[in-house]
């Protein structure tokens, strides 16, 4: 393995986790996934998770039996690796302190990647309830920093598999061909990245001193685009003009207040990005961050144009 870091992914069967696992293996890292014993015992079934476990097994992934809520099992697993990447989902974000406690006890981890993979939570202008969602992540950042554990935060912005697939339309399963709803004036730029590219950049950062105690932003220039320009790009591809329905900020805020959970959180995040511009309204300064496509120009990332083409 050429002395490459041993990587443990916690949440490896989740949405972004499975891409991180694959990227780690492809990069030649000894790759470990924390799983419950019950998860391995279901590999004979036809569920998507069992298929994923079989795929991991075939690619050479090692499984470590453990549970987020079993401290001793976490400690035992973490002692065997050099790097811990958390890709836990929304429901478990507030329990990442259990991972940090185990890392602190073992003292052998040279880099910790908390579950971020979205907006930079220290640079948002969100309203409730998204404000609290971002706030919990930001609070955990402060806890990590106070612990002295070496870290990297990955700010990957929007997942293409969710936001390009739907052209940023909530609950759509494919880009619309008749009308598009645009929050605000449509001129604010958001950032869309393919999940495989996010994972590749994350793994490249593992042994890179330039990303130590920094935010790794996945903000390649070709993927920073406004909703107006994204819509025009899609229209040109399908040869048809879409009806554009603009929702002013006051109506967006009203919709957030009237929506129930989790829709109100999702709307709040969209308000933060599409109205306030929280993915692109600041410069990345070397004191706190680095940009992935600049650090790793060898990675041929998929552009927004590339990603939209598959839906034509």
**Nearest-10 crossing angle of helices 130-147, 97-106:** 10
- Bridging pattern class, strands 62-65 and 31-35: parallel
Q: Show the beta-strand stretches assigned E in 126-232.
A: 152-155, 158-159, 179-183, 189-193, 214-217, 224-226
Cα(204)–Cα(279) distance, integer angstroms: 22
Instruction: Let me know: does 10 contact 97? Beta carbons within 8 Å.
Output: no
- Give the span between the Cα atoms of 203 and 211, in whole angstroms: 11
Pick the catalytic residue: 137, 189, 204, 214? 137
What is d(CA 65, CA 263) in angstroms, rounded to the nearest whole number?
Answer: 34
Q: Could you confirm whether 310 is annotated as catalytic?
A: no
- Angstrom distances, CA of residue 63 to CA of 36, 75, 84, 229, 286: 9, 15, 14, 44, 37
* Phi/psi of residue 173, nearest 5 degrees: -110, -5
Comparing CA positions, the residue from 97, 207, 89 lying closest to residue 142 is: 97
- Report the C-alpha dihedral over residues 44, 46, 49, 54, rounded to 10 degrees: 50
What distance in Å separates the CA atoms of residue 164 and residue 192, rounded to the nearest whole number? 7
Specify the 3-state DSSP secondary structure of 111.
strand
* Cβ 19 vs Cβ 196: under 8 Å: yes
Active site residues: 137
């Amino acid at each position: 393995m050429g002395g490459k870091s041993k990587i443990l992914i916690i949440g490896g069967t989740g949405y972004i986790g499975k891409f991180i696992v694959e990227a780690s293996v492809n990069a030649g890292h000894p790759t470990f996934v924390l799983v419950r014993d019950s998860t391995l015992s279901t590999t004979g079934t036809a569920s998507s998770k069992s298929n994923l476990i079989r795929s991991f097994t075939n690619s050479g992934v090692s499984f470590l039996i453990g549970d987020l809520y079993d401290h001793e099992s976490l400690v035992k697993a973490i002692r065997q690796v050099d790097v811990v990447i958390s890709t836990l989902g929304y429901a478990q974000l507030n329990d990442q302190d259990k991972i940090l406690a185990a890392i602190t006890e073992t003292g052998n981890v040279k880099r910790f990647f908390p579950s971020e993979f979205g907006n930079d939570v220290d640079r948002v202008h969100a309203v409730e309830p998204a404000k609290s969602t971002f706030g919990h992540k930001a609070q955990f950042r402060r806890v990590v920093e106070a612990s002295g554990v070496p870290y990297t935060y990955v700010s990957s912005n929007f997942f293409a598999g969710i936001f390009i697939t739907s052209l940023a339309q909530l609950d759509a399963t494919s880009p619309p061909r008749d009308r598009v709803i645009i929050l605000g004036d449509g001129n604010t730029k958001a950032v869309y990245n393919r999940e495989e590219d996010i994972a590749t950049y994350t793994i490249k950062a593992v042994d890179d001193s330039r990303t130590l105690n920094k935010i790794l932003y996945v903000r390649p220039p070709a993927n920073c685009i406004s909703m107006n320009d994204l819509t025009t790009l899609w229209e040109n591809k399908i040869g048809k003009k879409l009806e554009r329905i603009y929702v002013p900020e006051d109506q967006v805020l009203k919709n957030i207040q009237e929506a129930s959970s989790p829709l109100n959180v999702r709307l709040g995040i969209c308000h933060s990005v599409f109205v306030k511009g929280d993915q692109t309204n600041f410069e990345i300064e070397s004191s706190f961050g680095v940009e992935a496509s600049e650090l790793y120009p060898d990675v041929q990332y998929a552009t927004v144009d590339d990603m939209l083409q598959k839906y034509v």
